Amino acid sequence: MKKIKSILLFIIFLCAALPAKPQGLENPDIISVEKKQEIVTKLKGLDLDLLLEWNGRIYIVARVNDFIQLQKQNIPFRLETAKFYPFNQRVLSTGGGINGEYHSYQELEVELKALEKAYPQIARLYDIGDSLEKRHIYALKISDNVSLDEEEAEVLFMGCHHAREWITVEIPFLLAKYLVENYEKNSQVKSLVDRSEIWVVPLVNPDGLEYSIQVYRFWRKNRRANSDGSYGVDINRNYSAKWGYDNIGSSPDPGLEIYRGQAPFSEPETKAIRNLFFQKNFQAMISYHSFSQTIMYPWGYSLEPTTKDKELREIAARMSELIQAVNGRKYEYGRAGTLLYITNGDATDWTFETSSIPSFTIELPPVDMIHGGFFNAEEDIQSIFNENLPAMLYLIDYSCQHLKSKDTSQKEIVRNFSSVPKVRRETKD
């Protein structure tokens, strides 16, 4: 009993050092338990906030009552708080809003509209659909004849399927900012913009991001109210590619972090991406996530290679080389199912299955939780963008050089979705 009291006193001491949360919410700790069958069985009977599985351990957001439950069940645990709350992230700067230099939904909306207003000849903002809580999902199109739909390579960059991955909003947004600001200054940028149509969707999950900022930093899913009283669908398990293929790559349990929803494209956020995709002739796609410093390509649902494995591997290898040349940071690359973990219903498998285009998930730094996990220091935002920029530009150029007409299979899919609403140009101030 004396040992238990000492542990609890230590936990309370650590909680006092964690970032402030909205009034009325208790500061949690992060713990981990070994992923053994007997432990997993015991955990199923407890009402715990399971965060993620990593490297043979299950990570849990735990409060004082949770520690008592674990002790009663004789489940050994390891305190992991320091891994998730790096010292340099305990206090956000006052340069931005409540989340420092990272963008909230409203801040991003203002900046996207400002880019369109400042560069109307090459930037046009579209509302491609609304979230559950009626926030707009924005896509910024960048091209020389931006009001026209030309026979040019179209490339899609997406961020923030998962709410807690704040850095993934910044990288595609900074790409858009870089392209429009350097169009008249940089001949390479001008050439790429003149030959392509670049679509940037920096925030796929606006409701989840706001919840992560305002309420619970580790929130992952959207804000769907589920029938069992839980909240959220993992929208990167809600696409139709092998949706529900197994219960490893996604889950039918609404309470879990990888809950796939009731049906493919049941969520307005994934419908918005589907609608945009079917109206365009995309040649390549990157979906940004964090963390682990990896470049992954299909398949995610299987360990087997696709018919274009060689091409995808060569592109990923080149992007990895370009990234490493900037800051010396190495991004491993390979098929998603073998490099990281099995997924089904994710965006990257879906765009590849639909159009056979080069499709990638890039997991941004850090490499692991020990180096920060979902927390990236604000001063690292620019350096992470800088190292990813050459890979982005390379993929745009690659798409221009390998421009393909929309194949028959995708045309058939478009016909099947003839009722898909057109993307709306955002004209409100």
Q: Which residues are catalytic?
A: 363
Nearest residue to 319 via CA among 143, 157, 122, 154: 157
Whole-angstrom Cα distance, residue 168 to residue 158? 8
State the DSSP string of 219-247: --S---B-TTS-B---GGG-SSTTTTS-S
Please give the structure tokens belonging to residue 6.
């000492």
CA dist., res. 269 & res. 284, Å (int): 20
Taking the C-alpha atoms of residue 199 and residue 312, their distance in angstroms, rounded to an integer, is 21
Please check whether residue 105 is in contact with residue 209, taking contact to mean a CB–CB distance below 8 angstroms.
yes
Taking each helix axis as running N to C, give the angle between helix 105-118 and helix 167-182, from 0 to 180 degrees, rounded to the nearest 10: 10
Residues 200 and 142 sit within 8 Å (Cβ to Cβ): yes
Long-range contacts of 114-118 (CB under 8 A, 24+ apart): 115/140, 115/176, 115/177, 115/180, 116/140, 116/426, 118/180
Where b means 16+ CB within 10 Å and e means fewer, 19-57 reads: eeeeeeeebbbbbbbeeeeebeebbeeeebbebbebeeb
Distance (Å, rounded) from C-alpha 117 to C-alpha 14? 47
Return the closest-CA partner of residue 236 out of 287, 272, 276.
Answer: 287
Q: What kind and span of H or E run contains 126?
A: strand 123-130
- Report which of 64, 69, 27, 63 is spatially closest to residue 44, judged by C-alpha positions: 69
User: Would you tell me how many other CB atoms lie within 10 Å of the CB of residue 304?
Assistant: 11
* Cα separation, 212 vs 58, whole angstroms: 21
Residue 413 tokens read as 């899919």
- Residue 331: C-alpha distances to residues 61, 78, 279 (Å): 28, 29, 32
3-state SS class at 390: helix
**Integer Cα distance of 313 and 211 in angstroms:** 36
